[in-house]
Amino acid sequence: MESFVNAIVSGLISGSLYAVMALGLTIIYGISRVFNFGHGVVALIGAYIAWAILQNLVFSTATYIVGIVVSMVFLSGFGYLLYLLTIGPLLRKPGWEISTVLFMLGLGIMLENIILQIFGPRIKSLPIFVSDHFRLFGVRVNWHDLVILVLVILIVIALNYFFKATKTGQAMRAVSQSVEGANVVGININWIFGLTFGLAFAVTGFSGVMLGTKYYLDPHIGWDWMVIGFVIVCFGGLGSVSGAILAALILGIIEALSIVYFGSVWVWPIWFVIFVIILLVRPQGILGGRS
């Protein structure tokens, strides 16, 4: 029983990480309908930026915050410029649905090789926030995992506030519902799409840092993260933020239970069996999403 409860707790922690990682993918698709197949590599860039900063500064809570902020700011600017210089022009051409997918896939491969050249092939890891643990109702909980969970919850709350309480967030929601309608009421679609990429890349960079503290870093793991994000957004419903969060938590718990009772080698097969069943029964995902 104790191993079962520990697995549930571990699954919720992993699920929260997967949720915030999938949010960047969901935000971009939900608003612009562009599917970012370089998403995992973007998250990896965020992790490597934080790693490089921590390697060159005395380790402390302040330097960790600096690493996270710099990572998010850099990727926010990168996402915004990427849209203005490449994705924006592609969206104005026929067949943009395919051309943007191919472009983002090619960009991901290029960025992966740039990471390999800069940081080398050796495995790296980010230091954990806190090394101790405590017991809650007999369940062992690492302080580091608790810090991750709190940070993820704060990010989700901040995003929820942004989309519901700010004019820019409301404009993004309007564009996600109808590009034509938003254009009619005077919303600058090009500007909103640019901000969408900037916001999504910033969130993705944050998720990369969190994943880097929990798992390892190498130039190729971004594609594993991409597959996880792809499964989550399709499982939850394309473009559905709530669906992505729910799907991530479900898959995190399934992952933890699979490791405990079957072994880590069975995690992805079990994931994809459930994924295929869900899509057969409910093709739009568990909480719907954009058609």
Model confidence over 153-162: pLDDT tens digits?
Answer: 999 999 999 9
Cα–Cα distance, 133 to 75 (Å, whole number): 33
Residue 9 pLDDT > 60, yes or no?
yes
Alpha helices in the chain (DSSP H): 2-32, 39-56, 61-82, 88-91, 96-119, 143-165, 167-177, 179-184, 189-214, 221-236, 241-261, 267-281
- 3-state secondary structure at position 185: coil
Higher model confidence: residue 287 or residue 220? Answer: 220
pLDDT given at position 134:
75
Would you place residue 60 in the very low, low, confident or very high pLDDT band (cuts 50, 70, 90)? confident
pLDDT given at position 160:
92
pLDDT given at position 291:
43
CA separation, residue 10 to residues 14, 16, 202, 254 (Å): 6, 10, 26, 10
Helix 167-177 vs helix 2-32: crossing angle, to nearest 10 = 80
Cα–Cα distance, 267 to 228 (Å, whole number): 11
Report, as an integer, the average pLDDT of 250-266: 89
pLDDT given at position 2:
67
Average pLDDT value for the chain = 89
